[in-house]
Structure formats: structure tokens, C-alpha cells
Structure 1
């Protein structure tokens, strides 16, 4: 797919990875629908992107709210006339051990809310946005691409029961949708990064950060621009579908 004049929706677009994706795709001449709960953030980004000579609109939406997601995707197709791509960048992390044991007794447990909140955003949000994007692609007869963001943690990682489960789920959904939607000209892809140089990574304790980086063969964290480049590759390579692209610097959890 040539990104010039294509309409791409990006969730979690107000900051971090989503913002980097938006800026990269604007350079390629794509028109952008920017989705995030931070209304001021996406509107400011949209205004900045318009200076590049492409169309951009910000939409305030909670990706876990079915009615909001349905309304937002219907509205963006009204605004742009079509949708050719979706990047599910919205996601959260709430790490914790399944159990905390002291002196042979369970002192604490991961709460259902802690588990469910991550599943709601990372899995349900991805499902709802992808379902509605695919619906609009089919009904407007627009070929398109859906990209999910997984993680190296999808293989399972200590202290990440909820996050690992959610990232394994979005990787497998990518395969299912490739098989279901291919006949409509819709491809799917998934990117599984290791730790990325974002505000969240910057909050790590220096000694923990240094120890983690030493475990990475590439000896550094991923840059958000490198993930944006990976997304660009998936969009532009018309034979890529139903697969997860690992971008982890050689890390294996």
C-alpha cells in the first residue's frame, strides 16, 4: 500500500508511540485520524500535522467503551470518506506478582481490577477498534491494514500476568483476522517490541535500566521512530499479513 492520501487511524495518538506513528505517516502523505482519551493532546497534534500539508483530526474516545468506539469510527469515515488503516497503539501496563508470600503465607494477591484493567484496554480496546475499522473498510469497499502492538512479553514474563496475557491475545487475534478478512482486501500485522524509549522507560530506576539494557544484544532500548518504521513496512509490503514482527533488539523473555 502506498501511504500517500490513505486515511490511517491511530489510537493512543496523544503521546509516545502513537504520536511517533502519526508523525511518520504524515511524512508519507497519509491523512490521519488521531484517537485518544486526551482530547487536547490529539487536537494539538492534529493542528501540528496539518502544517505538513495533510488532513488530520483528533477524536476523544475511550477505546474500552463500545458505543464510543462505534460512534467514533462512523464519524471519522463521515469526515474522511474512507479508512485504509488502523494502528492499535493504545495500551497500559500494571505490573505485579500473582501472589506475594511472606513467611509461608499469602500477604497479597493481584486484584481482579488490576488484571482486568489491562485486559480491557489492551485486548478489548484492540478488538473494538479493529472490529469497527474493519466494518468501515468493508462497507466503503476500501482495502486496508490493521496493525496491533504486542510485546516480547507475550511469551510470558515474571510479574506481568495481565500484560503478558494481553499481548499474547493481540498477537493471536492478528492471525485470526488475517484469515477472516483477507477476502475483503484487509491485511493484518503485529509488532512485538522489547522495552521502548518512552516516558514509562524513563521512570525506571537507573540501576534497573542499566541491568535491563545489558541483557539486550543490541545494548539499547528501541526508539519510537523504529517502531513507526516497522509499521510503515507492514503497510507498504502487500504480502505481509497475519504475522508478528519482532523488534526487540534480540531480547528473549
Structure 2
């Protein structure tokens, strides 16, 4: 896909990885629909990017997702691409037993992460694909997974969601190819974002040292990988690990 003049929707786009992707793709000539939960943040982000517009949406809410994709289609006349980036963390052990006291991960703690990180990807992917099929011009869907998809200590909910994201990516590649729609996934390792910047220094240094490159990745390096999937027309149904060689 030639990114120039294509309309690309990015969820979780107000900051961090999402904003970096939006800026990178916009620099290549894309028209960007930025979707996020926070009205002020997403509109501020939009004000910094040419040919963009901000939208407020909870990706875990079906009716909101349907409405926002319809609005994007009306505003831009088409939808050519989607980056499913929105996600949350609510880490915790499955169970914690100490001094005779049992603490369990609550269903709400598990389900809230699944709702955003997996169901949200499903809903946005479904709506984007629907509009792409109706247009008859194909498109590309890129889902953001994680190296934690293999399973990571303290991340039962997050790992399960990110594994599901890769599985959906593969399934969609098979189902949507006849409509000239490709899919791909990115599995980032530890990346320099607002979230990692809030880590205690010792934990931050340990995370950086997990990579053979002895550093964290940058949001721009993830954006480059996303752009590669959009631009390479023979990539579909695969996950690209951008983790500096880190393996969890």
C-alpha cells in the first residue's frame, strides 16, 4: 500500500506509541483519524498533525465503536487502514498466598484488560474491515500485540489478550484476503514510553538489560515496523517482534 493520501485510523493515539505512529504515518502523507478516550489529549494530538482529526471512543463499547467508524468514514470518505493500538495494563498475580492469607486476581481485573486489549481489537477490526469491504478498495489492519503474548509473570490478563490478538490477526488474514485486505501484528518489547518512564529506576534498568542491545526500543522504531507492514504488500497474517532480541 502506498501510504500517501490513505486514511488510517489509529486507536490509543493521543500519546505514546499511538502518537508516534500517527506522526510517522502522517509524515508519509497519510490522513490520520486519531481515536482515544481523552477528549483534550486526542484533540491536542490532532492539532499537531496535518490532515488529522481526533475522535473520542471507548474501544470496548460496541455502539461507540460502530458510531466512531461511521463518523470517520463520513468525514474522510473512506478508511484504508487501521492500527489497533489502544490497551491497558492491570498487572497482578493469579493468586498470592502468604501467611495463610489468599488473594486472587479478581474477575474484573482480568475482564477489564480483555475488554480493551482483545475485545476492543475485535470490534475496531470488524468495523474497519466492514468499511473496507464496502469500498471495494481493500486495506490493511495492523494489531499491536506484545512479547508478553508468550506468557509473562504477573500478566495473566495481558498475556492472554495479546496472544489472542495474534490469533485474530492470523484468522483475519485468511478470511479477508479475498477482499484484498491484509493484516499484520507487531509484538513490541520494552519501549520508552510514559508508562516505562514511571518505572522505578532499578526496574527500568533491569528491563533495558533484558535485551542483548542493552536498551529499550523507541516509539519511532515501532512506528517504522507498522509502516513496513502497510507498505509491503506480501505481508499478511504474521507477527513481527520488535524487541531488540528480548525473549520473555
Instruction: Please state which band the TM-score falls in when normalised by the shorter chain.
Output: over 0.9
Tell me by how many angstroms 1:107 deviates: 2.3
Structure 1 equivalent of residue 97 of structure 2: 101
Structure 1 equivalent of residue 76 of structure 2: 80
Structure 2 equivalent of residue 202 of structure 1: 197
- Asked if the contact 1:69–1:129 (Cα under 8 Å) also holds between the matched residues in 2, the reply is yes
User: What is the aligned counterpart of 1:120 among 115, 124, 133?
Assistant: 115
Q: d(CA) in 2 for partners of 1:45 and 1:159?
A: 32
Q: d(CA) in 2 for partners of 1:195 and 1:164?
A: 14
Q: CA RMSD in A?
A: 0.8
SS of residue paired to 1:49: coil
Structure 2 equivalent of residue 237 of structure 1: 232
Q: d(CA) in 2 for partners of 1:93 and 1:73?
A: 25
- Asked if the contact 2:190–2:208 (Cα under 8 Å) also holds between the matched residues in 1, the reply is no
Structure 2 equivalent of residue 131 of structure 1: 126
Summarize deviations over 1:186-212 as a string: whole Å, max 9, x none.
Answer: 000000011110011011111111122
1:2-151 aligned within 5 A = 2-50=2-50, 55-103=51-99, 105-151=100-146
- Asked if the contact 2:15–2:45 (Cα under 8 Å) also holds between the matched residues in 1, the reply is no
In the superposition, the TM-score normalised over structure 2's length comes to: 0.98
Q: d(CA) in 1 for partners of 2:14 and 2:101?
A: 40
Summarize deviations over 1:96-120 as a string: whole Å, max 9, x none.
Answer: 00011113x3421101111011000
SS of residue paired to 1:108: strand
Pairs aligned (count): 248
Q: Which moved more, 1:59-68 or 1:41-50?
A: 41-50
1:137-176 aligned within 5 A = 137-176=132-171
Structure 2 equivalent of residue 219 of structure 1: 214
Structure 1 unpaired stretches of 5+: none
Structure 1 runs of 4+ aligned residues shifted over 3 Å read none
Q: d(CA) in 1 for partners of 2:209 and 2:35?
A: 35
Structure 2 unpaired stretches of 5+: none
SS of residue paired to 1:10: strand
In the superposition, the TM-score normalised over structure 1's length comes to: 0.96
Q: d(CA) in 1 for partners of 2:202 and 2:48?
A: 37
User: What is the aligned counterpart of 2:223 among 228, 241, 249?
Assistant: 228
1:248 aligns with 2:243: yes
Q: d(CA) in 1 for partners of 2:218 and 2:36?
A: 21
- Asked if the contact 1:99–1:106 (Cα under 8 Å) also holds between the matched residues in 2, the reply is no
